[in-house]
Chain A
Amino acid sequence: MKIAVCVKQVPDTWAEKKLKDGSGILDRESVEGVMNELDEYAVEEALKITEADGGGEVVVVSMGPERAGEAVRKALSMGADSGIHLVDDGLVGSDSVATSYALAKVLDGRGFDLIIFGSESTDARMSVVPAMVAERLGLAQLTFANKVEVSGGNVTIDRVTDNGLETITAATPAIVSVVEKINEPRYPSFKGIMAAKKKPVETLSAGDAGLDASQVGIAAAWSLVDSFAARPPKAAGVIVQDEGNGGVAIADFLSAQKLI
């Protein structure tokens, strides 16, 4: 089984982020870049499937600037076999539509049985790229999986929805996106980290991937940042000294907020 895992490098999810002076663009220099946390679950799931299968290949695919290569290495140190890194100045500012176009171009024709995504990136939080890539490649999409089973040319997932779980089956090749409940991503062993340094990573430019330059980058973006502002500082909370009236005070507060 040949599996692709798409990973994204994102600014550290829990860090305080700043905007570049006078622009709506994130100041990436000021925050540590990490592999999108949900993508770690995707990598783990791919590794588990090939391990259970007793063989196969896991290829990590990432689109992003030079330093997104770190995310690819991280996935390789977890145990993936090789990487593809799509990096090009022309891709800067691509939105999800453009990203899905670029990724689909890279993934197409490489013979993957399964393409796994994290269900969302922790920076943009759109959750649409897996579906868009599926649409572009004409493959079945099985999104928000908290359980994946592969057998006899079929993939079956438990899909998490607001109303409960749906069980969905599709023939491979197919696209799966996973949620964080699915597994516990492994911590790369030192052996893995050392081995990752020697694993092959194919670096592609937009031209190498056969991308139409007019469909990617900020100019081609379908979405626009209309306005932006720094998040206002947190307002001071209300402190109630409990002098026997604590319960009443809390109830008053909640009803004033129309919460009860």
Chain B
Amino acid sequence: MESEMAMRLIVGLALTIGILAFAGRRLLFLVKLARSGKPVTGRLSDPTARVQAETVEVLGQRKLLKWTIPGIAHVFAFWGFLVLGATILEVYGALFNPEFAIPVVGRWSLLGFAEDLFGLLVLVGIAIFAILRLTNKPEVKGRYSRFFGSHTTGAWLILFMIFNVVWTLFLYRAAQYNVSLYTGNDNFPFMNGGAFVTEWVASWLYPLGETANEWLEHIGIWLQIAVVLLFLLIVLHSKHLHIGAAPINVFTSRRPNALGPLLPIMYDGKPLNFEDPPDDALFGKGHIAEFTWKGYVDFMSCTECGRCQSQCPAWNTEKPLSPKLMIMNLRDTMFAQSEYLLAAKGKHPGLGEFDEAALASLSPEVRAEVERPFIGSREGSDHAAEDGYTPDGHRSSHADLPIIDEEALWNCTMCGACVNQCPVDIEHIDHFIDMRRNQVLIATDFPAELNGLFKNLENKGNPWGMNASDRNAWISEVDFEVSVFGANGEETIPDEVDYLFWVGCAGAFEDRAKRTTKNVAELLNIAGVNFMVLGDGETCTGDPARRAGNEFLFQMQAAQNVEVLNEIKAKKIVVTCPHCLNSLKREYPQLGGNYEVVHHSELLADLVKAGRLTPVNKIEQTVTYHDPCYLGRHNKIYSPPRELVAASAENAVEMERSGDKSFCCGAGGARMWMEEKIGSRINQNRGDEAIATGAKRIAVACPFCSVMLNDAVTSRQQEPGRAIGVEVVDISTLLLSASKS
């Protein structure tokens, strides 16, 4: 007995020390790699919110539970992982002392019950995962499997390892239980009951006899330790690294989320001054070595679950961009160039320059990889339509081609579906915008259509290149008074004015949006809301420039607007465009502009609630409401537009993809001004979904959604025999027609 215990200890410790040495080396490498990223500030501010996020998203698994079945399976696995931590303590205890039990609670039946229950639930969890993988095979479902491009073999290995953890656990526990039964000792801590699975397994092993069970206990313990340690080693070398990386990533993520405002370009912890930028400032990311440590932790956290991919408007319309594949590609690049990153220690100068000393220390292969162009055309490469990936996650390298496909980079509509879905809080959009910034500000290599957009914004202050003097044209088309700032010599907005009505470029120049402007003005007029417009004092908020990567132009536009708005002492602003809303409300505080900004849906819904607007004549046609990304996901305004629909129409139906799962119209991320050359059209995909609900009115709350969906519906109406009689209307149009008898 003595010698058997000694052997148990020696074998157990030898295994542990041997494997931990490898694991420790890898862990050190990963920590150093993450720390070699460029600095980023503010990732630890507001610790309360961070602890809360950790509680809700990690312990509470809230984002995973957005998808019920996979979410529950993950809850089982995750909580099983936490609870089974106790069994690992027990198994190591048993190495040294056969009678070991965790202090205080160690012999409570409840603990034994919890351990066995979660052991069982982990098995249920991995069974669900296995079924999900079998029914979602990328080889069968192609790009419409969320696992397309994920490393499925690695995923099966993980499931197999988890299975091994559980069965070895029950093997050793059952044998230990039996030995306690035979000898009457207290070695198994839960002889008073609770460990129901252990007891059931033990009943099968009992007939083997005492000696066999003694040996099964030793072997079970060794197997358990070996499996757990191997699992640790595999985790550290695979996409399953998220076990360690994700909690850190969630803790240091942007709070409340990485939606809404984009972050300014930072230098030395402060927003970059474009007037006089320091020589070593970076303008976006043009190389993997220019990403921050948060970026690296993002890449390490990706579990290849593909929830982002399943929601992505680009991927779902057969374009190369998948947020998952993009992050995987960045991660693989980070590892492929890790030697350089570790040698340069964050001193990579960027702007096409390298840390020469670090470069000189590399092998020729790694050096070639480091010096390879980062972003550019991968035309003609294998699997170009899937960003170079095969279904099972192999990317054709094409060492002569750039790493990031510019096509995929410009496919992004910045709709935020990926960020919203990501269970580990990866900040996809921030990375994409940083790469776009490099393409525009440094490389000047971007879609030619944006030339016109930038010129129009620079010269005319609006994307369409219209004359500022025409901003008030809509006023002559309404039959009530509209006050224009400055018309009576005002220098600041008079106190009796309730709202500054920020009309926006679309609202002033684009026909469909102009109708919305006139409707909102009329509704405000009916409700007795005193509003004023800026007229030709308005310019574009800069949203399209910013999302196209032209941060310099955005900063100029925004600074000009903030100066005007602060000078006239604007306080409350109403807008009809969710993009204006996002800039004015969420981004201008970065430049010292703080205003109370509401979307017309919010203001009108309030006016209806207050009885100042009374729909008397509900429209009979069924209505379906399309959530604009920048109203919904980015700014969490979901119910006011629905309240307006309910107030204006007899019947409303929801599309399957609605609320925070709404599908983009295709115009976000400055895509409004770019051509859509690859795959099917995003707006058609969404328009068809809306038409399929049977609704005759598609309600929108954004000028760009209005144009895009109207195009989609029109193209269907024009098909022979398809006079479907569907109209795309702004929610204000619905309310106005319902308000007139």
Contact (Cβ within 8 A) A192 B459: no
Residues on A with beta carbons closer than 8 Å to the beta carbon of B467: 14-16
Which residues, 168 to 186 on A, are CB-close (under 8 Å) to B?
A: 184-186
Q: Which of B277, B454, B460 contacts A194 (CB 8 A)?
A: B277
- Interface assignment of B442: CB less than 8 Å from any CB of chain A: yes
- Residue in chain A with minimal CB distance to B452: A187
Quick one: CB contact mask for B273-291 with A, threshold 8 Å, 1 for yes?
0100100000100000000
**Size bracket of the B interface:** 20 to 34
A184 touches B444 (CB 8 A): no
Whether the Cβ atoms of A189 and B277 lie closer than 8 Å is no
Complex: chain B residue closest to A188, CB-CB: B444
Evaluate whether A187 and B451 lie within 8 angstroms (CB atoms) in the complex, with A15-B467, A32-B459, A194-B277 already known.
yes
Question: A191 on the interface (CB 8 Å rule)?
Answer: yes
**In the complex, A15→B470 CA distance in Å?**
11
In the bound complex, do residue B442 and residue A189 qualify as a contact, i.e. CB atoms below 8 Å apart? yes
Whether B469 lies near A16 (C-beta < 8 A) is yes
Query: Cβ of A34 < 8 Å from any Cβ of B?
Result: yes
In the assembled complex, B443 has its CB within 8 A of some CB on chain A: yes
- Using Cβ atoms and an 8 Å threshold, which residues of chain B touch A16? 467, 469
Query: When the two chains form their complex, are residues A189 and B441 in contact, meaning their CB atoms are under 8 A apart?
Result: yes
Bound CA–CA A186/B446 (angstroms): 10
Question: What residues of A have a CB within 8 angstroms of the CB of B465 in the complex?
Answer: 14
A106 vs chain B, min Cβ distance (A): 28
B273 to chain A, nearest CB (A): 12
Given A187-B440, A189-B444; 14 other pairs, CB 8 A cutoff: A12-B459, A12-B460, A14-B460, A14-B465, A32-B460, A187-B444, A187-B450, A187-B454, A189-B441, A190-B283, A190-B440, A190-B552, A191-B351, A193-B552
Contacting B443 at CB < 8 Å: which of A12, A32, A188, A189? A189
The reply to whether A192 and B469 form a contact with Cβ atoms under 8 Å apart is no
> In chain B between 453 and 488, which residues have their CB closer than 8 angstroms to a CB of chain A?
454-455, 459-460, 465, 467, 469
Q: How far is the CA of A55 from the CA of B443 in the complex (A)?
A: 20
Could you tell me the distance in whole angstroms from the C-beta of A183 to the nearest C-beta in chain B? Answer: 11
User: What does the 1/0 interface line of B544-566 toward A look like (CB < 8 Å)?
Assistant: 00000000100000000000000
**B448 at the binding interface (Cβ < 8 Å):** yes
Residues of A within 8 A of B451 (CB): 184-185, 187
* Distance of A211 Cα from B450 Cα, bound (Å): 43
For A192, list chain B residues within 8 Å (CB). Answer: 444
Least distance between A64 CB and chain B CB atoms (Å): 18
Smallest CB separation, A209 vs chain B (Å):
30
Q: How far is the CB of B81 from the nearest CB of chain A, in Å?
A: 47
A-B contact pairs, 13 of them (CB 8 A): A12-B459, A14-B465, A34-B459, A185-B451, A187-B444, A187-B450, A188-B444, A189-B440, A189-B442, A190-B552, A191-B283, A191-B442, A194-B277
CA A194 to CA B272, docked complex, whole Å: 14
- Closest B residue to A192 using CB positions: B444
**Interface contact B552-A186, CB-CB below 8 Å:** no
Indicate if the CB atoms of B448 and A190 lie closer than 8 Å: no
**Docked-complex contact A184 and B448, CB < 8 angstroms:** yes
Chain A residues with Cβ below 8 Å from B283 are 190-191
Could you tell me the dominant secondary structure of chain A's interface residues? loop
Q: Decide if B442 touches A190 in the complex (CB within 8 Å).
A: yes
What are the residues of chain A within 8 A of B460 when measuring CB–CB? 12, 14-15, 32
Most buried by B among A15, A34, A186, A189: A189
Cα-based distance from A46 to B406 in the complex (angstroms): 27
User: Which residue of chain A has its CB nearest to the CB of B448?
Assistant: A184
Contact of B459 with A191 in the complex, beta carbons under 8 Å: no
Size category of the binding interface on chain A: 10 to 19
Taking a contact as CB atoms under 8 Å apart, the answer to whether A191 and B469 are in contact is no
Q: Which of B668-711 contact A (CB under 8 A)?
A: none
For the complex, give the distance between the alpha carbons of A64 and B467 in Å. 25
8 closest pairs, A vs B, by CB?
A190-B441, A189-B444, A190-B552, A187-B451, A16-B467, A34-B459, A191-B442, A190-B283
Q: Chain A's nearest CB lies how many Å from the CB of B450? A: 8
Q: What B residues does A185 contact at CB under 8 A?
A: 451
Which residues in A have their C-beta under 8 angstroms from that of B455? 187
Q: Which residues of A contact B441 (CB under 8 A)?
A: 189-191
Chain A residues with CB under 8 A of B277:
194
Bound-state CA distance A194–B278 (Å) is 11
How far is the CB of A104 from the nearest CB of chain B, in Å? 31
B279 to chain A: closest residue by CB: A194
- Which residue of B has the minimal Cβ distance to A12? B459
Contacting residues, chain A, for B444 (C-beta < 8 A): 186-189, 192
A189: B residues at CB distance < 8 A: 440-444
CB-CB < 8 A to A34: which residues of B?
459
CB distance from A220 to the nearest CB of B (A): 33
Q: How far is the CB of A36 from chain B (nearest CB, A)?
A: 13
Q: Which of A131-161 contact B (CB under 8 A)?
A: none
Q: Which residue of B lies closest to A33 (CB)?
A: B459
Q: Can you name the residue of chain B whose Cβ is closest to the Cβ of A14?
A: B465
Contacts of A194 in B (CB 8 A): 277
In this complex, which of A12, A16, A34, A194 has the most chain B Cβ atoms within 10 angstroms of its Cβ?
A194
A79 to chain B: closest residue by CB: B444
| B439 nearest CB neighbor, chain A only | A189
Give chain A interface residues in 211-228, CB to chain B under 8 Å: none
Kindly state the separation between the CA atoms of A32 and B457 in the bound complex, as whole angstroms: 13
- Please report the C-alpha to C-alpha distance between residue A161 and residue B441 in the assembled complex, in whole angstroms: 38
A32 — which chain B residues lie within 8 A by C-beta? 459-460
Chain A: minimal CB distance from B252 (Å): 29
Which of A32, A189, A190 is the most central at the interface, judged by chain B CB atoms within 10 Å of its CB? A190
Give complex CA distance A12, B448 in Å.
21
Alpha-carbon distance between A12 and B459 when the two chains are bound, in angstroms? 8
Residues in A neighbouring B450, C-beta threshold 8 A = 187
Q: Give the nearest-CB partner of A190 in chain B.
A: B441
Interface residues in A26-43 by Cβ distance below 8 A to B read 32, 34
Could you say which residues of chain A place their CB within 8 Å of the CB of B448? Answer: 184
Q: How far is the CA of A12 from the CA of B468 in the complex (A)?
A: 12
Residue of A with least CB distance to B469: A16
Q: Which residue of A lies closest to B551 (CB)?
A: A190
In angstroms, how far is the closest chain B Cβ from the Cβ of A84? 25
Report the Cα distance A188→B441, complex, angstroms: 8
- Residues in chain A near residue B440, CB distance under 8 A: 187, 189-190
Residues of chain B contacted by A15 (CB below 8 angstroms): 460, 467
Complex CA gap A47/B537 in Å reads 37
Q: Which residue of A lies closest to B468 (CB)?
A: A15
A188 to B444 alpha-carbon distance, docked (Å):
7
Residue of A nearest to B276 (CB): A194
Give the docked Cα–Cα distance between A15 and B277 (Å): 33
Chain B residues with CB under 8 Å of A193's CB are 552
**Closest A residue by C-beta to B461:** A32
Q: Enumerate chain B residues within 8 angstroms of A191, measured Cβ to Cβ.
A: 283, 351, 441-442
Contacts of B469 in A (CB 8 A): 16
Residues of B within 8 A of A184 (CB): 448, 451
Interface string of B430-442 (1 = CB under 8 A from A): 0000000000111
A137 → B minimal CB distance (Å): 33
